[in-house]
Chain A
């Protein structure tokens, strides 16, 4: 929209945008609404966004139904470890692929990118046997190692590599003239300048780990070790049917960290996605 539009045109634009936003906003509102409704009211013939009776106790029940606090913590610490580890590995690997000339670097990059083409459903069985062989079944290690060194790690490395490739080489040369070693250049020049890319990789990785479902389903059997996506699917009655009010309440709690991160770093996240798109 340009700055000189008439108020009428502007109102039309906002109206159109508001209408277009409905399909995206409605499920979220429905989740919040369902979280404080009774199971019966959710399926009432009349569709209401505000509940007749507010059932705040749903939130308490979420925690008594299964060890939800423990599962919440599991998800949180796994996502943090995966994010930190991925940032560390992908920034180093991305820098090496972008800036260090070594034999076979092109081939290595090609191999890495080709790994992105492989759906994780294809690799889950070999990974299952690998983790079993390593004695890591029913531990959190597969949920940490697989994202860091699997397709998500590759994606992160590729993003970082693209960003480092776009950094002006003169900056590194100036740093060399100033007396920095290769690692010094990475640490003191390249890494501080790649904050937007690090933010992008960080948020993508955190989301990826936070939403991981297949791996916890395959590798975990102890309910104390469950992560949130698995725990959410576990709010069922004796017949295995979903308890929607509890699922909605638990889900609304599960989105809190994501929302906090997004609101705190909204500008940087949007910038970083735009930047990685342009530079890539």
Chain B
């Protein structure tokens, strides 16, 4: 069993508190993604789990055993680094078998495990190359292979795809997802890319300033964000936020759940843009970003300010065009003065 429990975990660098009182339960075989903006502490939390950083408060258990003071190599975890961290002086085969060699595993067993991992990751033909002779995607596969051969209970990925180009990233994302399905191990993945988080995760942990903002499935986070931060962080393009006072009376009267709902959130795909400027909410197109499948319109709405809308029809209105918009009232999110989702409480 490789379930993980973090109870009141804290990490400080001197007086700087980077992780603050994190409670988290990760089930065996779960794919958990830590997301959050730069500097939120997601990588530090991962490093605390790996053992590369000491925990300054709280408890970490893996498979029921307390791991706070256990060295990194003895926690049963393997890490895939953002920069791959392959040993440049060793060939792919030696890189993958290095950890086993250090642990004094018998040579035939090392060879068997390396060959098996290489087959899984389609690295068979690259085993005798040096890392410098590999492409970015191949290096990443070797880094994953190095993690696999140790048969860890938990895989840790620290932004493993951020050095790859967009196309390769999509491909590797699918490979990692496939790998999780095949191996069934617990995986913890750090990214700042919420698309990666949404597509890979069973469970997403949203972090801000070293604290957990929300934990839930991708759907949970998308449809039931606990506050404006999560609402805006999950989903691309990000959710629009309006002051409730600026909304037309008919929306306020029919859709607002309670007077304390001070702000309304609406995703760009739930705003319908009409070419004529005679609706209840009107505005001007500030910018039109053509994305192929549609256009992302930057609108300046009267009384509501700037917002984003996805226009998926034919020709989108040009910059400067006057338009009106219709809000899908059933998809409105309401937040109170403290930015908490009113529906969740």
Q: List A residues at the B interface (Cβ < 8 Å).
A: 168, 170-171, 173-180, 184, 189, 192-193
Q: How many residues on the B side are at the interface (Cβ–Cβ under 8 A)?
A: 23
Cα separation A128 to B72 with both chains bound (whole Å): 51
Given contacts A177-B50, A189-B87, A193-B89, contact A170 B73 (CB under 8 A): no
B222 within 8 A of A: no
Min distance, Cβ A187 to any Cβ of chain B, angstroms: 11
List residues of chain B with CB within 8 A of the CB of A173: 52, 79, 81, 85
Q: Are A179 and B103 in contact (CB under 8 A)?
A: yes
- Contacting residue for A193 out of B50, B74, B79, B88, CB 8 A: B88
Q: Are B72 and A171 in contact (CB under 8 A)?
A: no
Q: List B residues at the A interface (Cβ < 8 Å).
A: 50-52, 71-74, 77-79, 81-83, 85-89, 98-99, 102-103, 146
Cα separation A175 to B99 with both chains bound (whole Å): 8
Q: Are B72 and A170 in contact (CB under 8 A)?
A: no
Q: Are B87 and A177 in contact (CB under 8 A)?
A: no
Chain A residue nearest in CB terms to B47: A173
Given A176-B71, A177-B73, A178-B102, 18 other A-B residues pairs in contact with their CB atoms under 8 A: A168-B83, A168-B85, A170-B83, A170-B85, A171-B85, A171-B87, A173-B81, A173-B85, A174-B79, A176-B51, A177-B52, A177-B72, A179-B74, A179-B99, A179-B103, A180-B102, A193-B88, A193-B89
List residues of chain B with CB within 8 A of the CB of A178: 73, 98-99, 102
Q: Top 10 nearest A-B pairs by Cβ distance?
A: A179-B73, A178-B99, A170-B85, A174-B85, A179-B102, A192-B89, A170-B81, A170-B83, A178-B102, A176-B72
Chain A residue nearest in CB terms to B74: A179
Q: Can you spell out 10 A-B residue pairs with CB atoms less than 8 angstroms apart?
A: A170-B82, A170-B85, A174-B79, A174-B81, A176-B51, A178-B98, A179-B102, A179-B103, A192-B89, A193-B87
Chain B residue nearest in CB terms to A168: B83
List residues of chain A with CB within 8 A of the CB of B51: 176-177
List residues of chain B with CB within 8 A of the CB of A189: 87
Cα separation A58 to B139 with both chains bound (whole Å): 61
List residues of chain B with CB within 8 A of the CB of A175: 87
List residues of chain A with CB within 8 A of the CB of B83: 168, 170
List residues of chain B with CB within 8 A of the CB of A177: 50-52, 72-73, 77-79, 99
List residues of chain B with CB within 8 A of the CB of A192: 89
List residues of chain A with CB within 8 A of the CB of B87: 171, 174-175, 189, 193
Min distance, Cβ A115 to any Cβ of chain B, angstroms: 31
List residues of chain A with CB within 8 A of the CB of B98: 178
Interface centre among A175, A177, A178, A179 (most CB of B within 10 A): A177
List residues of chain A with CB within 8 A of the CB of B103: 179
Cα separation A177 to B74 with both chains bound (whole Å): 8
Cα separation A193 to B131 with both chains bound (whole Å): 13
Cα separation A153 to B81 with both chains bound (whole Å): 36
Min distance, Cβ A18 to any Cβ of chain B, angstroms: 36
Chain A residue nearest in CB terms to B104: A179
Interface centre among B51, B71, B74, B102 (most CB of A within 10 A): B102
Chain A residue nearest in CB terms to B79: A177
